C-alpha cells in the first residue's frame, strides 16, 4: 500500500515537472516573441523615416541639377550630384526591398525560424551595403570640388585649393568618427541576433529541466 502511494506521488511529481517544463518553454517563446515584435515595430518606424529622408534628398538633387541654385558655370560641377542621384534612388529601392521582405515574414509559432529568416535577409544585403557605402563616400568627397571654380574666382587658386582640401578633410573626419561611434551599425539587427541567442539559451535550459 505504501509502495503504491509512493509510486503515485512520484508519478504526480513527474507530471508536474513535465507541465512546468512545457510552461517554461511557452513562457520563453512569449517573452522573446514580444521583444522581437517590439523591435520589428521600431524597424518599421525607422524605415518609414528613411523613406521620407531619401525622398527629400532625391527632390533636392533634382532641384540642384535642374535649377542650378549654386550658379555652376561648368557641366563638370554637376558631376557629384549627377552621381549621387542614382545612388540615392538605388538606396531607396534597396531599403524598400529589405522592408518588404521582412514584412512578408510571419513569426507564427517558430520564433527562431522567424529571427533566422530576418538575419538571412540582412546577411544577403551586407555586401551591397559595403559597396554602396564606400561608393557614396567617394562621391560625397567630390562635392566640395563643385564649388572650386567659384572659390578660385573669389579668393584665388591657392586659397581655393586649401579651402577645398580642408572641406574634404572635415568630411573624412566626420565619416570616420561616425563609423567609430557605431553610427553605421544596424542596431536593430544586432538586437534581433541577441534575441535569437537568448531564445536558444533559454530553450536549452528549459529542455534540461524537462530532462
pLDDT greater than 60 at residue 74 = yes
pLDDT greater than 80 at residue 192 = yes
> What would the DSSP string read from start to end of the chain?
-HHHHHHHHHHHHHHHHHHHHHHHHHHHHHHHHHHHHHHHHHHHHHHHHHHHHHHHHHHHHHHHHHH-TT---SGGGGHHHHHHHHHHHHHHHHHHHHHHHHHH---TT-HHHHHHHHHHHHHHHHHHHHHHHHHHHHHHHHGGGGGHHHHHHHH-HHHHHHHHHHHHHHHHHHHHHHHHTTTTS-HHHHHHHHHHHHHHHHHHHHHHHH-
Please write the tens of the pLDDT for every residue from 154-167: 889 889 899 989 98
So what's the pLDDT on residue 7? 47
Please write the tens of the pLDDT for every residue from 79-132: 999 988 998 899 899 999 999 999 898 877 678 888 889 989 988 888 888 888
Domain ranges across the chain: 14-210
Amino acid at each position: 500500500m505504501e509502495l503504491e502511494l509512493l509510486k503515485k506521488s512520484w508519478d504526480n511529481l513527474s507530471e508536474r515537472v513535465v507541465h512546468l517544463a512545457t510552461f517554461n518553454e511557452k513562457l520563453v517563446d512569449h517573452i522573446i516573441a514580444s521583444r522581437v515584435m517590439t523591435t520589428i515595430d521600431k524597424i518599421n518606424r525607422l524605415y518609414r523615416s528613411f523613406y521620407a529622408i531619401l525622398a527629400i534628398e532625391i527632390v533636392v538633387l533634382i532641384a540642384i541639377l535642374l535649377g542650378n541654385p549654386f550658379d555652376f558655370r561648368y557641366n563638370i560641377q554637376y558631376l557629384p550630384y549627377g552621381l549621387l542621384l542614382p545612388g540615392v534612388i538605388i538606396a531607396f529601392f534597396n531599403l524598400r526591398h529589405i522592408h518588404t521582405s521582412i514584412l512578408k515574414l510571419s513569426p507564427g509559432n517558430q520564433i527562431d525560424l522567424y529571427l533566422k529568416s530576418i538575419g538571412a535577409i540582412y546577411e544577403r544585403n551586407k555586401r551591397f551595403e559595403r559597396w554602396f557605402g564606400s561608393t557614396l563616400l567617394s562621391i560625397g568627397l567630390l562635392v566640395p570640388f563643385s564649388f572650386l571654380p567659384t572659390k578660385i574666382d573669389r579668393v584665388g587658386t591657392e586659397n581655393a585649393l586649401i579651402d577645398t582640401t580642408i572641406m574634404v578633410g572635415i568630411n573624412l573626419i566626420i565619416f570616420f568618427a561616425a563609423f567609430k561611434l557605431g553610427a553605421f551599425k544596424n542596431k536593430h539587427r544586432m538586437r534581433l541576433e541577441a534575441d535569437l541567442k537568448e531564445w536558444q539559451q533559454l530553450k536549452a535550459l528549459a529542455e534540461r529541466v524537462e530532462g
